[in-house]
Each structure stands twice: as C-alpha cells, then as structure tokens.
C-alpha cells in the first residue's frame, strides 16, 4: 500500500509537465528586411592649389641666391593668401575652416644628363568648407579669380544630425516593408498577424552611409550635389494568433 501511494505521488508531479509539453508551440514569423533612405549633403569641402616657380637666373640675366628665391616665393604665397581671403570675404557667412599650407622644394632641370637645381618652387594648398552648397560655384569663381589654377571637385559630407534622421527613415521603411510581407504570410497561414515581439538591427551589417560626391559640370563649372543613401538591415519577429 505504501508503494502504491508513492507511485501516485510521482505520477501527480509528472503529468502536469507532460501536459505542458504537449501544448502547441506559439507560431511566429521571422523576417530580415533592409530599408533605405536618401539624404542630401549638408556641407562640402573644396581644395585648391597653385605652384609658383622662381628661377635662380632671372629673365634679365641676373642671378639670385637660393635664399633670395625662397624669400620671393614666401612673398608670393603671402600675397596669394591675402588675395584669396579678400575675395572670399563675401562667403564668410556660409564657409568655415579656411586652411592654408605651403611646401618648398628645389626646382630641377636636366642638364648634361644630370639633374641640376635651377630654382625653387612652392606649392600653396588651400581648403575651405562650404555650408551652403548652392553657393559652391560662387566660391569657386572667387578662388579662380584670385590666381589659383587647380581647383578640386567638391567632396560632400553629411552631418551627424542629418545622418541620424536618414537612419531613422531607413529603419522605418524596413519595418513597414516587413509588416507588409508578414501580413501576407499570416494570411497564407490562415492566421491573424500580431505585433512585433522582437526587432534587432543586424550587428554584422551596421548602418552604412554611401557618400555621393558632388558633380562638376564641365561646361559651366557648376556643382550639383547628389543625394547619399543610408542602409539599415533589421530582423523582425512577429507573433501570429
């Protein structure tokens, strides 16, 4: 009789777990979605430079020393920088980070199969950040009028605030697309689609910004900013009733 009582107690503990394991597993729909959004650049960086050469033997036949040549070059760079700053005064309200740099080096000429120093040269390089891209052409024209010969294309940038707005829009697009697909799948399962139970941004594919460069129109020297694309991938888990 004692053994029968113990057996009944054991069965009473085992039966609930067996009944629980027999319950049907909750249905879910798991989707991986990718969303994209566009954002226009918020600023651009423009670089420009000029190379100036001073020969040790002047056109009038007079020779100058290397020190004199370097002094002439330094004065030329000073004048060029001053002219640039003056011509860019109109853009002070929508530009920033005007940087100037100069590098000096000997200027060689090949004489009797040997490289001979015949003068010195300086490469003056400048860069400026443009906050109003619609006025990039005006800045370029002012730079060219200052005597600069080499102007780069405009490299556009997207600030942190605009990037986050783009990421949010891309994520919203991914979720909305996932809801549409999940609704179709739930209908095929003869079920009712529930809420999103889990949403995980794929850590193997972080948000990416494809930075698009502005295009320089060769005929009119016009900068046309192009939109950048942010891309977000997310895993969505929907409950199904």
Q: Which of 137, 157, 177 is the last residue of a domain?
A: 157
What average pLDDT does this structure show over 54-75?
92
The helix or strand, by DSSP H or E, that contains position 237, with its residue range, turns out to be: strand 228-240
Q: Which residue has the tokens 């910004």?
A: 209
> What's the whole-model pTM score?
0.68
Q: How confident is the model at residue 111 (pLDDT cuts 50, 70, 90)?
A: confident
Task: Choose one of 129, 157, 185: the last residue of a domain.
Answer: 157
pLDDT at 16: 52
Mean pLDDT of 164-187: 93
pLDDT single digits (tens) 12-47:
544 554 444 445 567 899 999 999 999 999 999 999
Judge whether 212 lies within some domain: yes
Examine the pLDDT at 123 and tell me if it is beyond 50: yes
**CATH (domain of 218):** 3.30.110.170
CA-only gyration radius of the chain, Å: 35
User: Is residue 93 very low, low, confident or very high in pLDDT (cuts 50, 70, 90)?
Assistant: very high
Structural domain boundaries enclosing 114: 43-157
Q: Can you tell me the distance from the alpha carbon of 183 to that of 121, in angstroms, rounded to the nearest whole number?
A: 70
Per-residue pLDDT reduced to its tens digit, 188-226: 999 999 999 888 887 444 444 443 333 333 434 456 778
Q: Which residue has the higher pLDDT, 20 or 119?
A: 119
Domain closes at, from 105, 122, 157: 157
CB hemisphere CA count around 65 (13 angstroms): 3
Lowest-confidence range among 55-59, 92-96, 198-202?
198-202
């Amino acid at each position: 009789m004692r053994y029968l009582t113990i057996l009944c107690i054991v069965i009473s503990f085992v039966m609930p777990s067996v009944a629980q394991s027999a319950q049907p597993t909750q249905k879910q729909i798991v989707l991986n979605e990718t969303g994209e959004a566009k954002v226009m650049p918020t600023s651009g960086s423009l670089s420009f430079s000029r190379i100036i050469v001073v020969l040790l033997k002047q056109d009038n036949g007079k020779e100058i020393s290397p020190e004199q040549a370097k002094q002439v070059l330094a004065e030329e760079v000073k004048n060029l920088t001053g002219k640039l700053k003056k011509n860019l005064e109109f853009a002070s309200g929508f530009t920033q980070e005007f940087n100037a740099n100069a590098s000096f080096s000997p200027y060689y000429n090949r004489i009797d199969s040997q490289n001979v120093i015949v003068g010195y040269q300086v490469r003056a390089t400048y860069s400026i950040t443009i906050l109003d891209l619609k006025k990039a052409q005006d800045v370029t024209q002012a730079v060219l009028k200052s005597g600069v010969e080499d102007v780069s294309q405009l490299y556009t940038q997207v600030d942190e605030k605009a990037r986050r707005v783009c990421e949010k829009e891309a994520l919203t697009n991914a979720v909305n697309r996932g809801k549409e697909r999940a609704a179709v799948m739930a209908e095929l399962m003869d079920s009712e689609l529930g809420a999103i139970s889990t949403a995980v941004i794929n850590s193997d594919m972080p948000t990416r910004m494809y930075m698009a460069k502005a295009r320089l129109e060769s005929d009119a020297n016009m900068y046309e900013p192009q939109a950048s694309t942010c891309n977000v991938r997310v895993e969505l888990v929907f409950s199904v009733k």
